[in-house]
């Protein structure tokens, strides 16, 4: 920071030059605008997880929890705790949650998959998404869901899935591909 004073035409002019600064692991930053008003800026935080191995969901009336064991970066420990069945938020607020699931047919048959977001193990309204795989030639499908939710501290966000129908005479399954599946939670205010 550099401060300089100039005397010009019987006035004192104050010149203030700020250098670039970075904010790491902060939830809020206060700045003073050009009128001297203190303003609070919000700095978002994020956690992202993905499976470390393929998983299987089967044809059933019940859902299977999708596990997200891996991460590319460690989230701020004051904001999130990553757990196998999802992400725990540690602060109240509004969050943007995104999940992407890529599934693959197992038995060369037509298979319909259903996936949805959960909060504390309970399905979140308006987050169901569906896949349709035809056979081994058209064997992969991806769904992506984005939802804004108001969460409270210690809410756990997760994803669950199942096969809801297939063309086989016996129960079928889908493989959830680790490459192409993820869960992201981002605080937006």
Identify the CATH number of the domain in which residue 150 sits. 2.60.120.40
Domain ranges, residue 105: 46-187
d(CA 165, CA 111): 6
Question: What tokens appear for 8 in the block?
Answer: 């010009």
Q: Are residues 15 and 99 in the same domain?
A: no
Q: Are residues 59 and 83 in the same domain?
A: yes
Q: Is a pLDDT exceeding 50 seen at residue 25? A: no
Give the pLDDT confidence score for residue 41 in this predicted structure.
67
Q: Are residues 141 and 158 in the same domain?
A: yes
Q: Are residues 133 and 103 in the same domain?
A: yes
Q: Are residues 29 and 59 in the same domain?
A: no
> Using one digit for the tens of pLDDT, what is the confidence trace for 123-176?
999 999 999 988 888 889 999 999 999 999 999 999 999 999 988 877 889 999
Give the pLDDT confidence score for residue 29 in this predicted structure.
61
d(CA 180, CA 100): 7
Q: Are residues 35 and 95 in the same domain?
A: no
Taking every pair of C-alpha atoms in the chain, what is the biggest distance, in angstroms?
Answer: 94
> Using one digit for the tens of pLDDT, what is the confidence trace for 67-126?
998 888 888 889 999 898 999 999 999 999 999 999 999 888 899 999 999 999 999 999
Q: Are residues 104 and 167 in the same domain?
A: yes
pTM, entire model: 0.77
């Amino acid at each position: 920071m550099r401060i300089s004073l100039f005397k010009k035409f019987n006035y004192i002019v104050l010149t203030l030059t700020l250098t670039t600064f970075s904010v790491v692991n902060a939830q809020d930053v206060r700045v003073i605008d050009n009128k001297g008003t203190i303003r609070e800026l919000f700095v978002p935080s994020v956690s992202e997880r993905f499976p470390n191995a393929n998983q299987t969901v089967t044809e059933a009336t019940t859902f299977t929890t999708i596990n997200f064991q891996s991460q590319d970066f460690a989230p701020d420990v004051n904001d999130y705790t990553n757990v196998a069945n999802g992400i725990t938020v540690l602060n109240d607020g509004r969050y943007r949650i995104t999940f992407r699931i890529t599934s693959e047919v197992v038995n060369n048959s037509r298979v319909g998959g259903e996936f949805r977001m959960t909060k504390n193990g309970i399905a979140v309204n308006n987050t169901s998404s569906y896949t349709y795989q035809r056979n081994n030639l058209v064997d992969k499908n991806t769904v992506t869901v984005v939802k804004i939710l108001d969460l409270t501290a210690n809410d756990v966000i997760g994803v669950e899935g199942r096969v809801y129908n297939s063309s086989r005479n016996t129960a079928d399954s889908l493989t959830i591909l680790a490459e192409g599946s993820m869960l992201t939670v981002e605080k937006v205010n």
